[in-house]
Amino acid sequence: MIDAVAPKQRARSAGLRPAWLVAGALAVLVATLAGLAFGSASLPPGGVAAEMLNLIPGVRLESGLTDREVAILMQLRLPRVVLGLLVGAMLALSGAAYQGAFRNPLADPHLLGVAAGAGLGVTAVIVLGAGSTTEVPVGVPMAAFVGAVTAVALTWLLGAAGSRDRTPAALILAGVAVSAFLSAAQTFLLQRHVESLQEVYSWLLGRLATAGWHDVLVILPYALVTGVIVLSRRRELDVLTVGDAEAASLGLHPQRSRYLLIIAASLGTAAAVSVSGLIGFVGIIVPHTIRLLTGPSYRSLLPLSVLFGAAFLTLTDLLARTVAGDAEIPIGVVTAFLGAPFFVLVMRTSRAVPT
C-alpha cells in the first residue's frame, strides 16, 4: 500500500545514491582509523590498520607495534571508538526519526527533553545504588528508556496544549520546559544523595573516556532493535511528510506509525545516554547536513545518518581528547559548542528546508 506513493516521493528525491553510501563508509573508516591512531599517545596509522586486519580470521600482518602500543590499541582505544560509533549512529538516527515523526525540523533528543528524561532515569538508578556509570548494568538502559518515553510524551502533550496544531516553536518550547523540570528533579535527587554528585556530574557532561567492552555489549541489542525498526519505516516517514490526512488516504495509519517511530527513537536515545551521558545536538547537526546535501527523502537520510553520525561523534571524541593537550574535554561540551550555533542557523532557515 505504501508503495502507491513512491512515484510522488521519487519525484522529490533521487533516492539513496551508491556514491553517498560509499562516502559514508569511507567517513566511518577514516574516523575509525583516526580515533584509534591519535590521542595522548599517537600510534602509527599503518600499524593500527595492520592490527585491525589481523582481527580477520586467516590474516596475519606484521604491524610493527610494541606490546604496550597493542595494549593501548586493543584495551583502551578500540572499545572507546566502537562505542562512539554506536552512540553517534543512534543519536543521529533518532534525531532524524523524531524530525520525521513530529514533522519538525528542530526536533532533537536533547531539545525534546528525551535526553533529560533518560538522564533522570539513570540518575535515579545510580543514587538508589542499583547501578554505576563506570560499569553500566543491563537494567540501566531500561530505566533510561522509561524516563525518555515519559519525557517525550509530556513534550508531545504540552506542545499541543491550548492549540489544535503543534507548531515547531511550540513543540520545542514544550521540550525546553520538560527538560528544565526533569533537570530540576535530577538536581533535587543529587542534593539528597551528595555522595553520588561527582560521579553523576562527570557523566552528565557526556563522556566516552571510561568506555569498555561491557558498555558496547550493553548498548548493542538496543542499537540493533532501534536500527531495524526505524530503517524499515523509512518509506512511512516519507509518507508522513505529505500530512496525516493524505497519508491516511494512501493506506497509512499515521498515529500508529508515529508512535512506533517515537518509541524506537526513544529506545535508541536512552541506550546511548545510559552509556555515554548527555551528548546533545548530534541529532540536529548530522541529519540536517545530510538533508541539505542529498535531499529530504528519508530513504537516503536515515541510512546516511547512521554512517555519518557514527563518523561525526568519533571525530568529535578525538577532538575532545586532543585539543587541550593532556586535559580531556567532556565530549558533551564539544558537541554543545558545535551544535548551539548550528541550531540557530537551522532555526533561521527551517522554513526553507522541508522535513
Q: How does pLDDT run across 60-84, given as a tens digit for each residue?
A: 888 899 999 999 999 999 999 999 9
Confidence band for 11, pLDDT divided at 50, 70 and 90: very low
Domain ranges of the chain: 83-349
Q: What local confidence, expressed as pLDDT, does residue 10 receive?
A: 47
- Range with the poorest average pLDDT among 191-205, 265-279, 335-349: 191-205
Task: Please report, for residues 84, 173, 273, 307, the alpha-carbon distance to residue 216 in angstroms, rounded to integers and kept in the order given.
Answer: 9, 34, 13, 17
**Residue 5 confidence class, pLDDT cut points 50, 70, 90:** very low
| pLDDT reported for residue 167 | 64
Nearest to 233 by CA among 296, 291, 303: 303
- At 158 the pLDDT is 84
210's CB contacts (< 8 A; 6+ apart) are: 133, 134
DSSP 128: T
Q: What is the rounded distance in angstroms from the CA atom of residue 74 to the CA atom of residue 88?
A: 21
Nine cell digits for residue 184: 530540576
Q: At what angle do helices 78-102 and 18-37 cross, to 10 degrees?
A: 140
Q: What is the pLDDT of residue 137?
A: 59
- At 156, is the pLDDT very low, low, confident or very high (cuts 50, 70, 90)? confident
Question: What integer best gives the mean pLDDT of the chain?
Answer: 84
Cα–Cα distance for residue pair 123/185, rounded to 1 Å:
10
By the 8 A CB rule, do 314 and 84 touch?
yes
Q: Find the mean pLDDT for residues 12-34.
A: 86
> Other CB atoms closer than 10 Å to residue 44's CB: what's the count?
13
Q: For Cα atoms 311, 54, 32, give the angle at the middle one, nearest 5 degrees.
A: 10
Residue 351 has pLDDT above 60, yes or no: no
Nearest to 273 by CA among 104, 101, 149, 107: 149
In the chain, % of residues over pLDDT 90: 35
Q: Which three cell numbers stand for residue 248?
A: 491516511
3-state secondary structure string, 215-258? Answer: HHHHHHHHHHHHHHHHHHCHHHHHHHCCCHHHHHHCCCCHHHHH
Distance CA 247, CA 239 (A): 6
E strands, the chain, are none
CATH number of 83-349: 1.10.3470.10
Nearest to 277 by CA among 134, 128, 179: 134
Which pLDDT tens digit goes with each residue over 93-121? 999 999 998 888 878 887 788 888 888 88
Amino acid at 115: A
Overall average pLDDT of the 206-227 stretch:
85
DSSP 134: S
Q: What percentage of the chain reaches a pLDDT higher than 70?
A: 86
CB count in 10 Å sphere of residue 159 = 24
Q: What is the dihedral of CA 269, 119, 142, 104, to 10 degrees?
A: -30
Whether 120 contacts 274, CB under 8 Å: no
Judge residue 290's burial from the number of C-beta atoms within 10 Å of its C-beta, 0-12 exposed, 13-18 middle, 19 or more buried: buried
Q: What is the pLDDT of residue 15?
A: 62
Give me the torsion for CA of 282, 317, 76, 304, rounded to 10°. Answer: 40
Which one is predicted more confidently, 202 or 180?
180
Q: pLDDT for 220-247, tens place per residue?
A: 999 999 999 999 999 899 998 888 888 8
DSSP state, residue 58: T
Residue 207 has which C-alpha cell? 563522556
